[in-house]
């Protein structure tokens, strides 16, 4: 498949070399670039709640931290990291929905893992350096490829074609031995038609949490063929990560005494001393091959064809003590007259998967109409297996014998059609119809050696509609309705969940822009009504992944406000705040051996207040200063309103400085950046877990439910300094 895509790419790149040469202006190139994602993006005046982020905005703080952390200051966004410093495993929640419910696409191709539905940014370190722009749609949004958006969708467009050649070298250094090095280049448009560009990056960090180091490498290569009406892009990008595990968190007592403690890899040696296995790591590689053909047929019609192949493979390694022979298919052995049936060992649990996508759509624009329609097909084939690479007592085993094997196959076909019609200068109507057909099949056994035999088919019809009313040149009102439905993920099937979720999302918004555009305000109300929502229980499994359960009926009701105030020509304030109530209705749980209906409870990991702000000031032409703040209100980590599960509110402040040197010999410009995070040295926790279990040992005649919690502390005061040289 790789050779097939590469050969097609090379063929298409030189397809039109014999065409008449014409100078292609930047505007034409950028417009064709946008064809890549216009089927899933919305315009500024659409009835969809959204935020846009440009390359320039991302660049200001792009010093090695991952994409979720760079989006931390957007409305209703909460971010967290395992290692505590923004490098390695990072996560984003929007309106209380976790990352598996935020639909991510890169150039219109789904990035969420097909089986787990999660988004693992660690597999693409420094991809932020190859982003042209992105759009975060909150709520159901417009139809997009991949699993349905249950909190938001994030649409990413990678680097646009550059008409000018350039070179760029960047580096940054900071706390916790964090280092980033990258190299970017573009040939510019050769012969006005062909461009090659790329990036190489390396990021390392020791992490705030003990031993939570990251060793990350990535690349991005692009070839483009451009003519007046054609843009063909062949992209190859990916990364390799080695990350020491930090997903276990710590309990409240350890939090008070040693908040950076990491229990991962801990074992007791023969002398009874505590040791830590030095290779308790996650080791994963992921490569993406994309081909996009954007064609403008005439002033009314344009098309896009996208092909994708993603190859992922890797494992996490663990030192395990006192493991039973039977679980690993070992035969008991006799030594010195004693039967040995337990051993210490090192195991690897593997994922090896292939993901194929064909995505085609057509766009029609004429006067009052803007119509998009298309078809999407994807196929995922993933192997899951475990192997033992060392054992103190190896019995009859051979190195890398597999002690479990399983496979999952997922096929999705999606058809969509969406249209915007301008009734007159004031009224615009939007309609969107989507049909998703999903098939998921598994065989073999899980990592717990439990048979998993799934053969499920789902058919989802997801209508959406909206209306925009321009009250006058300054005020705009909009309303929309959207439905999303989605299938369970692999871990849900392992826990016996087969029901699909359904969400009806209602939005009502007001946008204001003053005559001189110095004041902009966006306000929206939303009501998200769920049926069979899979909420996080608060508990995690043995690999740190959150466990979910069906909550029956639930809802999220909220108000979001964001604004941009240009106080002076060189002073801007960009505040946002979200108020929400997030409730389970008639929530049933097990308590002291009995099922109890708790009535209305708070949905886990859903703070009622989230606020952010940036104050940006440019005292000099080439100097930009920014004061960044984030407030996240208290939240429960479970759904039973237990005080044990409560995370306290936190308020953090960061300071960002960017200074540009230009008009200097040899190079175009030198950019100096600085970022001080958590400037007031706040001890805060952005994530954790909550669990319950039934105690039958203390008193055999009664069942008592015991509660507990774990926490993921985030870094205190820390900094990053960066230098970028552009040629």
How many Å apart are CA 324 and CA 3, to the nearest integer? 44
Task: Tell me how long the chain is.
Answer: 727
CATH superfamily, domain 2-726, is TonB-dependent receptor, beta-barrel domain (2.40.170.20)
Hey, is 644 helix, strand or coil? helix
* DSSP code for 518: S
Cross-strand bridge partners of residue 169: 183, 725
Q: What phi, psi does 598 have (nearest 5°)?
A: -85, 0
Rounded to an integer, the average pLDDT of 287-313 is: 95
**Are the C-beta atoms of residues 426 and 460 closer than 8 Å to each other?**
no
pTM (global) more than 0.85 = yes
Compute how many other C-beta atoms are within 10 angstroms of the C-beta atom of residue 514. Answer: 13
How many Å apart are CA 16 and CA 8, to the nearest integer? 14
Q: Does residue 460 surpass a pLDDT of 90?
A: yes
Residue 34: the pLDDT is: 66
Give the least confident one: 112-121, 538-547, 709-718: 538-547
Residue 55: the pLDDT is: 94
Residue 425: the pLDDT is: 92
How many Å apart are CA 627 and CA 575, to the nearest integer? 11
Q: How do beta strands 571-585 and 609-620 pair?
A: antiparallel
Q: What angle do CA 681, 683, 689 make, to 5 degrees?
A: 150
pLDDT digits 0-9 by tens, 133-148: 999 999 999 988 888 7
List, as one string, the DSSP characters of 16-38.
TTTSPP----HHHHHHHHHHTTT
The pLDDT confidence band at residue 551, using thresholds 50, 70 and 90, is: confident
* DSSP code for 331: P
pLDDT digits 0-9 by tens, 145-171: 888 788 899 999 999 999 999 999 999
Residue 543: the pLDDT is: 74
Give the least confident one: 373-387, 515-529, 534-548: 534-548
Residue 161: the pLDDT is: 94
pLDDT digits 0-9 by tens, 604-621: 999 999 999 999 999 999
């Amino acid at each position: 498949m790789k050779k097939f895509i590469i050969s097609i790419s090379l063929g298409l790149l030189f397809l039109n070399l014999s065409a008449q040469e014409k100078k292609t202006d930047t505007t034409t190139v950028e417009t064709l670039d946008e064809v890549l994602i216009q089927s899933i993006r919305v315009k500024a005046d659409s009835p969809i709640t959204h935020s846009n982020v440009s390359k320039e905005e991302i660049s200001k703080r792009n010093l090695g931290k991952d994409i979720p952390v760079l989006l931390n200051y957007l409305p209703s966004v909460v971010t967290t990291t395992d290692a505590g410093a923004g490098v390695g495993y990072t996560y984003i929640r929007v309106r209380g929905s976790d990352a598996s419910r935020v639909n991510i696409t890169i150039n219109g191709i789904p990035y969420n893992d097909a089986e787990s539905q999660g988004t693992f940014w660690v597999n693409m370190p420094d991809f932020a350096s190859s982003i042209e722009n992105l759009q975060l749609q909150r709520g159901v949004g417009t139809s997009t490829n991949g699993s349905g958006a249950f909190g938001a969708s994030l649409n990413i467009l990678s680097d646009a074609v550059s008409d000018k050649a350039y070179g760029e070298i960047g580096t940054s250094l900071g706390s916790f031995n964090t280092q980033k090095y990258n190299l970017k280049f573009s040939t510019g448009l050769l012969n006005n038609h062909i461009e090659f560009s790329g990036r190489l990056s390396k990021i390392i960090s020791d992490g705030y949490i003990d031993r939570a180091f990251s060793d990350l490498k990535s690349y991005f290569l692009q070839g483009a063929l451009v003519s007046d009406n054609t843009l063909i892009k062949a992209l190859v990008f990916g990364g390799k990560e080695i990350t020491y595990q930090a997903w276990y968190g710590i309990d409240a007592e350890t939090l008070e005494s040693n908040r950076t403690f990491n229990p991962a890899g801990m074992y007791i040696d023969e002398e009874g001393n505590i040791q830590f296995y030095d290779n308790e790591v996650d080791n994963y590689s992921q490569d993406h091959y994309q081909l996009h053909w954007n064609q403008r047929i005439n002033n009314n019609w344009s098309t896009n064809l996208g092909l994708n192949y993603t190859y992922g493979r890797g494992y996490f390694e663990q030192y395990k003590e006192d493991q039973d022979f039977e679980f690993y298919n070992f035969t008991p052995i006799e030594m010195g007259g004693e039967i040995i049936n337990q051993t210490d060992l090192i195991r690897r649990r593997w994922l090896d998967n292939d993901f194929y996508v064909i995505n085609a759509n057509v766009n029609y624009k004429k006067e009052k109409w803007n119509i998009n329609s298309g078809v999407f097909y994807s196929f995922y084939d993933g192997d899951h297996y475990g192997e033992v690479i060392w054992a103190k007592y190896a019995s009859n085993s051979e190195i890398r014998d597999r002690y479990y094997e399983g496979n999952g196959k997922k096929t999705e076909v999606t058809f969509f059609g969406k249209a915007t019609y301008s009734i007159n200068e004031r009224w615009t109507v939007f309609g969107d119809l989507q049909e998703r057909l999903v098939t998921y099949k598994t065989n073999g056994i899980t990592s717990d050696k439990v048979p998993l035999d799934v053969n499920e088919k789902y058919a989802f019809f997801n209508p959406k509609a909206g209306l925009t009313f321009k009250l006058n040149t300054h005020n705009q009102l909009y309303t929309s309705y959207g439905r999303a439905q989605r299938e369970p993920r692999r871990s849900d099937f392992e826990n016996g969940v087969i029901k699909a979720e359904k969400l009806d999302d209602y939005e009502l918004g007001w946008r204001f822009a003053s005559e001189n555009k110095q004041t902009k305000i966006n306000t929206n109300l939303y009501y998200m009504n769920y049926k069979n929502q899979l909420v996080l229980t608060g508990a995690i499994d043995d690999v740190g992944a959150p466990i979910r359960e069906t909550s029956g009926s639930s809802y999220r009701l909220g108000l979001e406000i964001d604004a941009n105030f240009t106080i002076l020509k060189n002073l801007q304030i960009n505040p946002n705040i979200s108020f929400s109530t997030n409730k389970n209705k008639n929530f049933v749980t097990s308590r002291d051996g009995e099922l109890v209906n708790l009535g209305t409870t708070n949905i886990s990991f859903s703070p009622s207040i989230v606020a952010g702000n940036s104050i940006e000031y440019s005292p000099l032409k080439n100097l930009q200063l920014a004061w960044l703040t984030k407030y996240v209100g208290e939240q429960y980590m479970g759904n039973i309103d237990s005080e044990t599960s409560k995370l306290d509110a936190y308020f953090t402040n960061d300071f960002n400085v960017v200074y540009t040197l230009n008009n200097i010999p040899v190079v175009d410009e030198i950019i100096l950046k600085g970022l001080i995070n958590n400037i007031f040295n706040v001890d805060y926790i952005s994530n954790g877990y909550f669990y319950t279990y039934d105690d039958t040992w203390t008193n055999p005649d009664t069942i008592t439910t015991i509660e507990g919690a774990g926490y993921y502390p985030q870094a205190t005061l820390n900094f990053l300094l960066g230098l970028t040289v552009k040629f």
